[in-house]
Chain A
Amino acid sequence: MSVDQIEKPAEDAVFTLRNLRRTYEMGSETVRALDGVSLTIPDGQFLAIIGSSGSGKSTLMHILGFMDSPTGGTMNFEGEDVTGISRARRASLRANRIGFVFQSFNLLPRLSVIDNVVLPLIYGERPVRRKDRIEAGMQALQRVGMDHRAKHTPNQLSGGERQRVSIARALINKPRLILADEPTGNLDSKNRKVVMDLFTKLIEEGITLALVTHDDVVANYADRRIRMQDGKIIEDDRS
């Protein structure tokens, strides 16, 4: 399939992007971090995004995660046109509809594991009582097999354990879509396998996952791989 072919917003798609652009003005120079990306992510897909450094992978993830806005093109999320939405609306979508997993875990060192996991609930649409928050947090920790470490602080955990906790945090608001930017980048092969098995289990439970990686082993877990270069998708491999 040609990458330039314009895809229709599919009813069951989580995301539909059309000709998406993100440019940075650096004085007289214009950096095209995303240069016309069109992409549909169907519900339940495990998508791996690969490509050389500086090709625009993180930029794409930030836009999908509503942390950044495109400077051109349109984007549709779960049937809703989200191209020019407000900052507050983007924050709300971050809190309620998307889970984000980072390469460097990004847990708050002063909070316990359980408090880190339930943090998104504080910013959620409706207030959740502390007792219910803790209950939901323990359930999420059970899903990643970390409930026995709930009272510990992040720096008492190994890298793999921290990443499992941060996945629990991404799961707390029961999103359909999880975005992960090099989630195994800081992990050894043993922990990489633990995290990828966990992701595989989540896919089987119906989660949609978009993941950036430099690692072929990780990319091979995915249903589909897209390769980026200079802000464009140059290869789309579904196998």
Chain B
Amino acid sequence: MNIVGDFISGAANGFREVWANKLRSLLSMSGIILGVAALVAMIGVVQGMVSNLRVSFENSGGILRLNVETQDPPEEQRHIEGRSPGRTLNDAIALREGLTHAQFVGAEVEGGWSRFEARGHRRWALVRGVLPDNLNFDTRGLAEGRFVSELDVLYGSPVVVIGSEVRDRLFGDIDSPLGEVVRIQGGSYTVVGVMEESLSEAGGGVRSRFVDRQNFMPATTVLRRFREDQNIRELTVMAKDLPSLPDLIEQIENILMQTHRGIEDFYVSTRDEQLADLRRLERSFMFSLGGIAAISLLIGGIGIMNVMLASVSERIREIGVRKAIGARSYDVFLQFLSEAVVISVVGGILGLLLSVGLLAGLREIIPDGDRISGAPLVAMFWGFIFSSGIGLLSGIYPAIRAARLDPIDALRYE
């Protein structure tokens, strides 16, 4: 017995039946269409978000990155808390000199949002004071020129590395802004470099206007010109490799104990937690998506089953006739099953098309919509498999009902 052949000719008849009842078929498909569309579109959104989080996690140092955070010192040190200078640029300098297992040491001083002016244009943009190694902690590279150098830091030079969005706003009318002067908060700074757009490959396809409005200056320059205190916002160390991580942490703690004069107002945080968070996030997204998918496809399946049951009772006489002239129960079973599968497969395909449109639409509407990826092929594949599977499952019961009908009873039915 050639089941596949029977099924293919059944599917052809199924198509004819579906086409003959266009409106009814469309209504019965609607659950599957919406279910598949929502599923694929949501997977697209979530996958885009999560993979971008992952890429920026990796590009900003991954698991090898350590941060020195501040904390309240323990109870017994509270009364001498004032002896510690807190987290300062000196910490970074001491770490750079003392660490043997570190790849990079970065520090950041916040300069705040400031007004940038050049060539008659103005733009509010963020000033970040950094060390040369900070380039390695950024998801972006340099588009042109150079980054903040050791000498810049040493002398507190009035130089700036601007973000791509700032370049477009202030220097959109010239070829290269290198060597041009920008007025920021009353001071003059020479542009020595331009950062890449965050949309670039290294940024994981994430374009963020916020990121592209960030500009770098030497940490010393920012401390001198933009701040009253000596506090730094971030102190970052990147390990050479994973095995050296514990030793490195110990070294950091030893060195900082000296610069903080024995006060434990800091701790070294690893990114284990962040990685675990990321994984938890991914998992919970996938679980909730799985739940939504299951529910929507269940509803789709119930819709199809409902329509198929109605179709069976509408066609009892037809079933009787077919059986009377020789159709086996198997033939009738296959006829109705293939109709259900055709409905759900067509519904699944329409749902996939809708999801592509939905994602394209979302990318336009949502702020930061560029984070949304295109309809992912894997999701489309599974959406398709699930919808046909649902058709198969929801078609089985009505098909059995049809196949079980007794020809005499069916023919007597009015």
Which residues in A have some Cβ–Cβ distance to B below 8 Å? 62, 65, 67-68, 87-88, 91-92, 94-96, 100, 102, 106-108, 110, 119-120, 122-124, 169, 173
Contact = CB atoms under 8 A, between A and B. Distances in A.
B326 A91 contact: yes
B321 A123 contact: no
A107 B330 CA distance: 21
B170 interface: no
Interface in B225-271: none
Given A106-B317, A106-B321, A108-B318, A68 B408 contact: yes
Contacts of A65: 324
A94 B20 contact: no
Among all A-B residue pairs, the 6 with the closest Cβ atoms: A95-B326, A123-B326, A91-B328, A94-B326, A120-B325, A106-B321
22 contacts: A65-B324, A67-B324, A68-B408, A88-B328, A91-B327, A91-B329, A94-B323, A94-B324, A96-B326, A100-B325, A106-B321, A106-B411, A107-B321, A108-B318, A110-B20, A119-B325, A120-B326, A122-B327, A123-B327, A123-B331, A124-B326, A173-B326
Given A91-B328, A95-B327, A102-B411, 4 more contacts: A68-B408, A88-B328, A100-B325, A106-B321
B391 interface: no
A123 B411 CA distance: 18
A233 B159 CA distance: 117
The secondary-structure label for the interface of chain B is helix
Interface string B386-414: 00000000000000000000011001000
Interface in B266-313: none
A64 to B, nearest CB: 13
B20 A169 contact: no
A124 B331 CA distance: 11
Most buried by A among B324, B329, B330, B408: B324
Nearest to B21: A110
A119 B408 CA distance: 18
A87 B324 contact: no
A122 B325 CA distance: 10
Given A106-B321, A108-B318, A62 B327 contact: no
A188 B331 CA distance: 36
Q: Interface size bucket, B side? A: 10 to 19
B326 A62 contact: no
A141 B179 CA distance: 94
A108 B321 contact: yes
Contacts of B328: 87-88, 91-92, 123
B322 interface: yes
Contact of B325 (A68, A88, A110, A169): A169
Contacts of B322: 119, 123
Interface in B317-349: 317-318, 320-331
Contacts of B326: 91-92, 94-96, 120, 123-124, 173
Interface of B: 20, 317-318, 320-331, 407-408, 411
A190 B318 CA distance: 29
B328 to A, nearest CB: 4
A123 B331 CA distance: 8
Nearest to A172: B325
A67 B320 CA distance: 10
Identify which of B318, B323, B326, B411 gathers the most chain A CB atoms within 10 Å of its CB: B326
Given A67-B407, A68-B408, A106 B324 contact: yes
B409 to A, nearest CB: 10
Contacts of A94: 323-326
Contacts of A106: 317, 320-321, 324, 411
A152 to B, nearest CB: 17
B323 A91 contact: yes
Contacts of B330: 88
Contacts of A68: 408
Contacts of B324: 65, 67, 94, 100, 102, 106
Contacts of B20: 110
A31 B200 CA distance: 85
B56 to A, nearest CB: 59
Nearest to A58: B408
- The CB with the most chain B CB atoms within 10 A, among A67, A92, A107, is that of A67
Contact of A123 (B318, B320, B325, B407): B325
Given A106-B317, A110-B20, A67 B408 contact: yes
Contacts of A107: 321
A35 B53 CA distance: 82
A62 B408 contact: yes
A220 B347 CA distance: 58
Contacts of A92: 326, 328
The winner among A96, A107, A110 for most chain B CB atoms within 10 A is A110
Nearest to A123: B326
Nearest to B6: A127
Contacts of B320: 106
B21 to A, nearest CB: 10
Nearest to B412: A58
Contacts of B321: 106-108
B89 to A, nearest CB: 85
Nearest to A99: B325
A212 B317 CA distance: 21
Contacts of B317: 106
A238 B266 CA distance: 117
Residue picked from A91, A94, A124, A173, most chain B C-beta under 10 Å = A91
B249 to A, nearest CB: 76
Contacts of A124: 326
A123 B329 CA distance: 11
